[in-house]
């Protein structure tokens, strides 16, 4: 099921929803470029403590809340992300990498939801070394495929999952 059959109210959140040839439109390209940029920042933050990703994620969550996004939408995007990674990486997407991405996405959404939708204990973006390595390794493979095509497929998966 896609995001709109699971959460029909989500359709009205996209200002570009009625554009012909949506998947080839500049508006959707801009949107998926931003999404991939944020994912890349999250992965890069695992390499160094100089990148403060938590404030970025909290601000992103606040912005999404102002658009009308609800916490129930986040798992749908997570499923689309996992489908995209599996599709693009194929056998390079190991079980370990799949688990690692699940843990990373869980942390990302916790920060986006924290304080924006519910009061929280301010969870930290902390993952074990092996998980970090699996995420970083698989993300390097995604970047080798190309951010643009992967972003396009991710948005298509969000809309058609």
Q: What is the pLDDT of residues 97-150, one digit of tens each?
A: 999 999 999 999 999 998 788 766 555 567 888 999 999 999 999 999 988 888
DSSP conformational letter for 114 = B
In a domain, 82, yes or no: yes
Give the C-alpha separation, 20 to 105, whole Å: 31
- Whole-prediction pTM value? 0.79
> Which CATH number belongs to the domain containing residue 41 in this structure?
1.10.490
Give the C-alpha separation, 159 to 161, whole Å: 6
Residue 97 in tokens: 């990498």
The total domain count for the chain is: 1
Torsions phi, psi for 115 (to 5 deg): 65, -15
In a domain, 30, yes or no: yes
Domain that holds residue 76: 21-160
């Amino acid at each position: 099921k896609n995001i709109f059959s699971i959460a029909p109210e989500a359709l009205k959140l996209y200002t570009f929803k009625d554009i012909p040839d949506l998947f080839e439109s500049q508006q959707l390209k801009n949107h998926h470029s931003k999404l991939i940029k944020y994912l890349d920042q999250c992965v890069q933050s695992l390499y160094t403590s100089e990148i403060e990703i938590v404030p970025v994620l909290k601000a992103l969550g606040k912005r999404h809340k102002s658009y009308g996004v609800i916490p129930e939408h986040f798992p749908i995007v997570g499923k689309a992300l996992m489908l995209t990674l599996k599709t693009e990486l194929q056998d390079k997407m190991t079980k370990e990498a799949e688990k690692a991405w699940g843990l990373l996405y869980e942390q990302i959404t916790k920060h986006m939801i924290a304080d924006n939708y519910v009061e929280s204990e301010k969870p930290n973006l902390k993952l074990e070394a092996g998980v970090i390595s699996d995420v970083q390794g698989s993300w390097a493979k995604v970047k080798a495929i190309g951010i643009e095509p992967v972003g396009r497929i991710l948005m298509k998966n969000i809309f058609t999952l």
